[in-house]
Amino acid sequence: MKKNFKITIEYDGTPFSGWQIQNDRITVQGEIEKSLSRILNQKIKINGSGRTDAGVHALGQTANFHAETSISCSDLKRGINSIINGPVVIRKCEIVHPDFHARYDAVSKEYHYHILNRPDPCAVGKNYIWHIKKNLDIDAMNRCCSLITGIHDFKSFEGAGSPRAHTIREIFFSFVEKSDKDRIIFKIKANGFLRFMVRNIMGTLVSAGLLKISFDDFRRIMEAKNRNAAGMTAPPQGLFLTRVFYGP
């Protein structure tokens, strides 16, 4: 009997060329499909909730796939984790409704971006954080976060060369907070994200935190609906997909 499996995945994006399978490149999707095809002795294609770029990490990426098998979820999870190549771990495996689709049924996603804010870089963990030497004004960054919360056109934060049918998204929350003396986390949850959207917002928020742009400048950037108006694209290593949410 063919079953529809949903898996929740954690991975370190450092050695991968992103999530999506590509010819002659090592990707997260590619390694999971190879492991599943080997264990189940059949060609498996998985549907991810969305793509993550090269160097971006995940604590709660989700995917689904259909397979004709009698293997249990626990044995399948154990099998994948024992043979998969690279820093990828299946955290959960479950059988879902035959019509469930990890991408199309997702209602929202949450991302976290980590910053080390001190003069000295870190020797341990540099692949998971953006080092910014100068002091960031968190209050200034949060004032700008208030501008992106809600339903807005995020054309100014869309990656160049990746047009969508529309660029309107709803941000449920976005804020910056200290996690300890030297570390800052930007948290954002939305019903969907454009390509590079979180990293482009983060780069522009850092400009606000460094007092290079004002609250009104940030507002004008949003209203411009032009990627060239916004700040730099933050590097990928600080970004984590933390959770994908689904309806009842």
Distance CA 135, CA 129 (A): 16
The verdict on whether 53 is a catalytic residue reads: yes
Pairing status of strand 57-68 against strand 239-246: parallel
Residue 118 identity (one-letter amino acid): R
Helix, strand or coil, per DSSP, at residue 212: coil
d(CA 97, CA 64): 11
Alpha carbon distances (Å) from 119 to 130, 133, 135, 136, 203:
12, 4, 9, 12, 18
Secondary structure of 131-188 in HEC code, one letter for each residue: EECCCCCHHHHHHHHHHHCEEEECHHHCCCCCCCCCCEEEEEEEEEEECCCCEEEEEE
What is the spatial distance between Cα 201 and Cα 154, in angstroms, rounded to a whole number?
9
Strands (DSSP E) contained in the chain are 2-11, 47-48, 57-68, 88-96, 106-117, 130-132, 150-153, 168-178, 183-190, 239-246
- Please name the amino acid found at residue 21: I
In the chain, the largest separation of any two C-alpha atoms, in whole Å, equals 60
Of 53, 75, 137, 182, which is the active-site residue? 53
Cite the active site residues.
Answer: 53
